[in-house]
């Protein structure tokens, strides 16, 4: 049987894990955070976790928007436009753009690697605001090669998360992910 060409790496959005990861980051930031900053921290965390461990933390379909890459499902969840938004233990104030925790994080739903990467990303970027984090994403090849039209969006493939990473370890992880996803496609 010939090898199939794999069009794009895909990872399902893990809503339960996303809710807990949002609460974890909010707790780390005294219970509230600017929405743009929160969304950008998740891009950096998903990217770092993908490169290290072969999967993102929350996943979903990524798009480039005016302010950079975002998991579409995560944005819907934080914006409370998710179909089951009434059940999330945080709220988003449309006037102040603040996301506030209204519940406790259940860390048991997050793996050790999830927590380690969230902690590292928060330590590295938590002092920055959302616009600074957005500006950083605009310098990535993953953004410049898939820049959206003003006010629009463009799809961002997980393969593109690796474009600015030329080290052998990152490229080996990309090969492993592609091979694994192709194997699952062969079984389907």
Sequence ranges of the domains in the chain:
15-187
Q: What is the pTM of this model?
A: 0.90
Higher pLDDT pick, 155 / 83: 155
The share of the chain scoring above pLDDT 70, in percent, equals 90
How do residues 110-161 score in pLDDT, each as one tens digit? 999 999 999 999 999 999 999 999 999 999 999 999 999 999 999 999 999 9
**Residue 3 and residue 62: Cα distance in Å, rounded?**
26
**Residue 165 and residue 124: Cα distance in Å, rounded?**
18
**Residue 40 and residue 42: Cα distance in Å, rounded?**
5
pLDDT band, residue 188 (cuts 50/70/90): low
């Amino acid at each position: 049987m010939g090898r199939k060409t794999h069009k794009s790496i895909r990872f399902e959005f893990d809503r339960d894990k996303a809710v807990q990861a949002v609460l974890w980051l909010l707790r780390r930031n005294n219970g509230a955070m600017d929405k743009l900053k929160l969304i950008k921290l998740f891009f950096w965390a998903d990217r770092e976790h993908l490169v290290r461990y072969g999967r993102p933390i929350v996943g979903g379909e990524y798009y480039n928007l005016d302010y950079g890459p975002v998991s579409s499902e995560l944005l819907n969840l934080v914006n409370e436009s998710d179909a089951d938004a009434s059940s999330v233990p945080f709220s988003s104030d449309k006037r102040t753009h603040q996301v506030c925790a209204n519940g406790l994080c259940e860390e048991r739903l997050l793996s050790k690697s999830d927590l380690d990467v969230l902690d590292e990303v928060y330590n590295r970027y938590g002092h920055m605001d959302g616009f600074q984090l957005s500006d950083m994403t605009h310098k990535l090849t993953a953004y410049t090669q898939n820049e959206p039209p003003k006010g629009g969006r463009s799809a961002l493939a997980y393969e593109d998360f690796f474009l600015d990473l030329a080290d052998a370890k990152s490229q080996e992880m990309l090969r492993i992910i592609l091979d694994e996803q192709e194997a699952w496609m062969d079984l389907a």
